[in-house]
Structures are given as structure tokens and as C-alpha cells.
């Protein structure tokens, strides 16, 4: 499994940088975002260093499906309101124009009140 010694998320996964763990298993590590957009905001990060969705291929199908199925379960466990009135957002930013800030594939899971909406 590939790791990048200079990657922020690889360092978090290895425990070299502290984080608020939400979940971990053999494929991913999930932790709370340090600058949350909403009351529930965490990241699901592959243990393997993959720079972005552009580098993901057919060999990553199990990992990607695991992330997509894990996100909703963890959102509910973290307190998201039930569907259909509640819900969550799953977001993967890719590349500079796509808003990616850390070049290690990751999925944002965001739920709860949306502070960016005006009342």
C-alpha cells in the first residue's frame, strides 16, 4: 500500500498528526474536519495514498464502493436527521478547479443545519 511521507492525510492516518476519529477499518480512516461547514462534517480517507479521483481506477472499485456505502451509515451514527427530511451530503473534490485542497483522495460527509443558507 502506497503512502506519501509528505501528505497531510497520510500523516493523520499514521497518527503523526492528531485527529478526532470517527471510524477506521482496513480500507479507510474517517475523522472530523477541523473547519466544519455544518454541525456534522467529517472526512473518509483511503489508507492508501491516491492523489485524487483522477488517479482512481477499476482496481479501486471495492474501496470507492466501501466509502460510498460507509458515508451514510456514519452520518446517521454521528447524528444526521433521518431521510427524507434530514439527510447528508457526500462530496469528493477533484483538482484545483474542483476545490481539492489536500491531494489525497477523500470524501466529505456533511449533515445537519446548513449555515450557508439564509433563514
pLDDT in tens, 27-46: 999 999 999 999 999 999 99
For residue 109, give every residue at least 6 positions away whose Cβ sits within 8 Å of its Cβ, in sequence order, or none: 30, 40, 41, 42, 43, 44, 71, 74, 75, 78, 88, 89, 90
* Catalytic residue ranges: 106
Instruction: Say which CATH class 8-111 falls into.
Output: alpha beta
Q: Of 84, 82, 70, 90, which is closest to residue 24 (Cα–Cα)?
A: 70
Predicted TM-score of the model (pTM): 0.94
Give the domain ranges of the chain: 8-111
Backbone angles phi, psi at 54, to 5 degrees: -65, -25
- What is the per-residue pLDDT for 3? 87
- What is the per-residue pLDDT for 1? 72
Low-confidence ranges of the chain (pLDDT < 70): 115-119
Amino acid at each position: 500500500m502506497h503512502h506519501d511521507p509528505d501528505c497531510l492525510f497520510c500523516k493523520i492516518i499514521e497518527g503523526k498528526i492528531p485527529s478526532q476519529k470517527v471510524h477506521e477499518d482496513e480500507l479507510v480512516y474517517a475523522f472530523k474536519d477541523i473547519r466544519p461547514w455544518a454541525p456534522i462534517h467529517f472526512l473518509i480517507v483511503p489508507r492508501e495514498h491516491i492523489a485524487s479521483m483522477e488517479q482512481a481506477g477499476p482496481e479501486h472499485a471495492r474501496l470507492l464502493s466501501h466509502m460510498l456505502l460507509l458515508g451514510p451509515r456514519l452520518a446517521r451514527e454521528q447524528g444526521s436527521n433521518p431521510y427524507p427530511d434530514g439527510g447528508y451530503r457526500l462530496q469528493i473534490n477533484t483538482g484545483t478547479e474542483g476545490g481539492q485542497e489536500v491531494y489525497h483522495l477523500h470524501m466529505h460527509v456533511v449533515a445537519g443545519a446548513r449555515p450557508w443558507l439564509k433563514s
